[in-house]
Amino acid sequence: MRNAIGQHGMSIPPIVYLDTQDFSRFGDVLRGKSDSATEALFLEIERRSKAGNAIFPASMPIIGELLQYDTRYRETTICKAQAVERLCGHWGLAFPSRLIAAELLMVARQHQLMPSGPTPDTLSSDRYWYPNVSNALEGFVEQLQGELKSAVSNLQLPNRYERRRAKRFVGKLHTTDAIRAAAPDFAAKFGISVETVMISVGALIEGRITAPEASRRLFGEIAKPVTFVEAYFEKVEGDRSSIPSWMRGFGDAFENRFLDLRAQTASILDSEEGRAALEQLLTELPKTLGLGILGMADANDLAEYGLTVSIVDSLRAIEGVEHQVPSSIIVGNVIPSYARQVLGLRGNPGHIERSFGGDLVHALYLPHVDLWRGDRRFAEVVVKAVPHYASRVVPRLTALPSAIDAALRRADQRLDIFGHRS
C-alpha cells in the first residue's frame, strides 16, 4: 500500500486519474476501431505505466460508467475493460464514501477528535476500488459447518446410532476439505483461479487470516475489470442493473435539478437585482453543500477508520469545517460554479449536461492524485471553482504525456532539495 500524495506534495511516480472517455477511446484502439494518432497516444501512455513512470488507478466511478453491458456489443465492453487492465494494472482508488471517511479521519485528528496515526490509504495496490466488503465472509466458517451438519441431518440413516455417528464425523471434519472440494466450482462461477479461492476462503477456514483479509483477497481478484465483467454480467445470477445505473443516477438527478433551477430563475435573470440575488445565493451555497457531503460515508466506511457517527457530528459542528475536508471543498464549490455557467451569470448560458453528476463524483479524486483528466468544459469549471488544484487538471488527453514528464521533473527537483523521495 501507499498513500496518494507524498510528504512534499507529490507522489513518485505521479498518480494520474484518467477520464472515463479516455478509457473508452483506448478500448476502441484495442478493438481496431480507432485512428493511428489515438493508438500511438495509448501506447505512449501504456509505456509510461509499464516503466513505472506513472500510476493510473481505477475507481468505482470509472468502472461504473465505462462497463455498460449489452450482449450484442460484448466486444466493446471487454475491450474497454482490457484498456483499464493494461493501464491501471493492480492500482485502485478508494470507493467515494471510503475516500470521504479517510478525509474525515485526517480532519478529526487535526481537531484532536481522533488519536494520531499513519495516513489512511486512499490508493491501493490490490484493486480496492469497490465498496467496503470487510464483512462479506463474516460467519462463513460457521455457516459452512452448519450446512454440512444440516446435510447429514437430512440423510435417511437407518437408526439413531448411525445419525449420531454421522454428526460426530461432521464435527471432526476439517472444513478446508470441503472448501478444497468446492473450490473448482466456486472459481469457475466467478472466473477466478482455484488458487485465489484457497488463499482467501481456504486461508480463512484454516484460521490463518481474518474475514476482512479474506474478503479483500477474494474481491481483489474479482475486481480485475475483465473478470468483473464476466462475473457480474455473465456468470452470477441476480440483478445486473445496479452497476450500470449507479453513475447514471447521479447524472439524471443533477440534470433535473439544474433544469428546475433554470426554469425557476428565468423571470429574474434579466434584472440586475435578480442576478445579484442569485449570485449571493450561490456564494452561500458551499457551506450547505460542503456539510451535506460529510454524511456520505456509511457505517462500514467510518468503522474501517475507527470513526463513529458522533465524531462526524462533532466535526460538522466545527465552524468552517467545510473548508477543511477536501470533498466538501470540491462539492461546495464545483456545483455553484457549474450553476453560474448554465444560468449565464458569467457569460452566455451553457447547455445542461447529463454527465455533470458523474463528473462531480470523479472530481472527488482530484485532491488525491497528481494529475487529473476531465473533458474540456468540466475541466474549466473545476479550475474556476477550485483554482488551488488547477495545476493538477489536464483538459486535453494529448497533453497528458508531457504533463507526466513535467511532473517527474518537478519531483526530481524536490528530491534534490529534500535529499530523499516523498
- In this model, does residue 83 exceed pLDDT 60? yes
Question: Are 101 and 45 spatial neighbours (Cβ–Cβ below 8 Å)?
Answer: no
Q: How many CA atoms lie within 13 A of 229 on its CB side?
A: 22
Residue entry with cell 505512449: 44
Please tell me whether residue 308 adopts helix, strand or coil conformation: coil
Is the separation of the CB atoms in 121 and 127 below 8 Å?
no
Instruction: Give the pLDDT band of residue 8 (cuts 50, 70, 90).
Output: very low
Looking at the DSSP bridge assignments, the partners of residue 372 are: 17, 393
Q: Are 312 and 302 in contact (CB under 8 A)?
A: yes
Q: Which pTM value belongs to this model?
A: 0.85
- H-type alpha helices, 51-117: 60-66, 74-88, 96-110
Task: Evaluate whether 12 touches 53 at the Cβ level (below 8 Å).
Answer: no
Q: pLDDT confidence of 238, banded at 50, 70, 90? A: low
Instruction: Supply 121's cell numbers.
Output: 490509504
Percent of residues in the chain assigned helix, strand, coil, to nearest 5: 65, 5, 30
Q: Domain spans of the chain?
A: 140-222
Q: Which long-range contacts (CB under 8 A, 24 or more apart) does 340-347 make?
A: 340/279, 340/282, 341/381, 342/258, 342/261, 342/262, 343/261, 343/262, 343/265, 343/269, 343/278, 344/269, 345/275, 345/278, 345/279, 345/282
| pLDDT higher than 90, residue 396 | yes
Cβ neighbours for 138, distance < 8 A, ≥ 6 positions apart: 211
| Averaged pLDDT for residues 192-202 | 80
Distance CA 93, CA 301 (A): 14
- Alpha-carbon distance 347 to 349, whole Å? 6
| pLDDT(173) > 80 | no
What pLDDT band is residue 168 in, cutting at 50, 70 and 90?
Answer: low
Cα 342 from Cα 235, distance rounded (Å): 43
Count of other CB atoms within 10 angstroms of residue 138:
15
Q: Encode burial over 53-83: b for 16+ CB neighbours within 10 A, e otherwise.
A: bbbbbbbbbbbbbbbbbeeeeeebbbbbbbb
Residue 246 has pLDDT above 90, yes or no: no
Predicted pLDDT at 250: 81
Give the pLDDT of residue 56: 98
